[in-house]
Amino acid sequence: MTKNILAASFAAVLTLTACKKENKTTEPALGSDSIVSSPTDSTNQTTSDSLANKTPESNSEIIKTTLSDKDGKKLDVTFNNTKNTATLVFNGETIELEGQKPASGIWYKNDHYELRGKGNENELHKDGKLIFKSEK
The 3-state secondary structure of the chain reads: CHHHHHHHHHHHHHHHHHHCCCCCCCCCCCCCCCEEEECCEHHHCCCCCCCCCCCHHHHCCEEEEEEECCCCCEEEEEEECCCCEEEEEECCEEEEEEECCCCCCEEEECCCEEEEEECCEEEEEECCEEEEECCC
**Fold type of domain 30-46+55-133:** Lipocalin (2.40.128)
Residue 136's pLDDT band (boundaries 50, 70, 90)?
confident
Q: Is the CB of residue 114 less than 8 Å from the CB of residue 125? A: yes
Angle made by CA atoms 118, 21, 81, in degrees to the nearest 5: 40
Residue 23 clears pLDDT 50, i.e. is over it: no
- Kindly report the number of other CB atoms within 10 A of residue 17's CB atom: 8
Buried b (16+ CB within 10 A) or exposed e, 51-85: beeeeeeebbebbbbebebeeeeebebbbeeeeee
Residue 110's pLDDT band (boundaries 50, 70, 90)?
very high
In the chain, % of residues over pLDDT 70: 56
Residue 107 clears pLDDT 60, i.e. is over it: yes
The pLDDT value recorded for residue 121 is 93
The pLDDT value recorded for residue 65 is 94
Measuring CA to CA, how many Å separate 2 from each of 8, 13, 83, 135?
10, 17, 53, 61
The pLDDT value recorded for residue 30 is 52
Residue 135's pLDDT band (boundaries 50, 70, 90)?
confident
Q: Per residue in 47-103, pLDDT tens?
A: 333 333 334 444 459 999 999 999 999 999 999 999 999 999 999 999 999 999 999
* All structural domains of the chain with their residue ranges: 30-46+55-133
Q: Per residue in 24-41, pLDDT tens?
A: 444 444 544 444 443 433
Residue 9's pLDDT band (boundaries 50, 70, 90)?
low
